Structure 1
Amino acid sequence: MKHYSYERWQQYVKDELSEHQREELEYHLYTCDQCLEVYLEAVTANETSLPALPNDNEFTNRIMEMVPDTDNNNRPWFQRAGFHYLLAAAATLFLMFSGVFQSVASYAGSLEKPIMEEKKPSVTEGVINKTFAWMDSLEKKEAKKK
């Protein structure tokens, strides 16, 4: 796996890379713990140069105002979680009592059983059987002549 240098992560933190290079580094962060540690060191080292928020509480309040209200009381009845749970429970009970699960289980069981194939004699066994049959027919002919 390719690892990136501390200087490269410094460039990333300072936003000195192209969009393609930034995406490549971001994707790499998802898979590499070692580079994640180096990235965090670069962020910590550049923490003083990053812009500071003048009023943290005001910023948080503005963001929270932009988040849509997810209160269940404002939603129609068919968009509430309780309706979906009841619908799933009803579908499960219907499938159970109609025998769908039983037929799926028996079908899965039939797939697990080994398929018994008719045993075909090998070529050697076939030659031996034909030889014995031929020898028996010769013995019968000899017996008839006597």
Structure 2
Amino acid sequence: MKHFSYDEWLSYVKDEVNGKNREELESHLYTCDQCLENYLLAVSEHESSLPVLSNEDSFTDLVMAEVSKQKEFSQKPTVLKQPVKKKKPYYQQSAFHYLIAAAATLLLTFSGVFQSLATYASAIEAPQHIKEKKPTVTEGVIDKTFAWMDSLEKKEANKK
């Protein structure tokens, strides 16, 4: 984002900026807080050089009278048309969507789909009662020892 300097804002306040730059400065002023601060500083510095109004009420009345004149000249007799609201088709209305959702829910409920899902979920969540029994290290050593002894006995028996 391009920021404008304090001097650029001061020249804007003094009305020393051409039309294109003026529009660019004004549109930037709406979006940038940093430049808004510079602009307000420039206005407060230049405020002392502005003419002082002796009678503020009469000035306001004159301005409002000019605004009214400008309004009268720019207004043309126009017929106000009410915008025609097009009715949405039934399938684009939210009530139709709620009706479809309710019908689908009832259909799935009465067909037993939810019951089978609940049964399946409970079967998955249920703890497994049948666990593989892992032998302890001691039992493993004893089993291997007996297997070794059995193999020795078979060798002795084969020798006889």
Q: TM-score, normalised by structure 1?
A: 0.47
Q: TM-score, normalised by structure 2?
A: 0.43
